[in-house]
Amino acid sequence: VNEPPKYHTILVSLIVLATLVRVALPIIAPEHYALWITSSQLIWTVAFALFCWSFIPMLIQKRIDGHFG
């Protein structure tokens, strides 16, 4: 119905990056395992916070068509 904001591509890319950091980098350099996990957590947290920041206003405002819900 509506197109998502253009920066949602960036948010999804951040989530994919967090996944790659979490899965691939510990295989490549296991000696830095804690760094990879922490980095992945931070990237995912930033992406999710930005995602919430963009969607929460949409979810709490009144509907345009005036219906309930």
Positive or negative, the CA dihedral 45, 51, 55, 57 is positive
Burial class (CB in 10 A: 0-12, 13-18, 19+), 21: buried
Instruction: Supply 41's token pair.
Output: 């957590």
Residue 59 CB-half CA count within 13 A = 6
* pLDDT-derived band at 2, boundaries 50, 70, 90: confident
Which amino acid is located at 27 in the chain? I
pTM, two decimals, is 0.77
pLDDT at 50: 92
> Helical H runs in 4-61?
8-28, 33-60
The model's pLDDT over 16-62, given as tens digits with 9 standing for 90+, comes to: 999 999 999 999 999 999 999 999 999 999 999 999 998 888 888 88
pLDDT at 69: 66
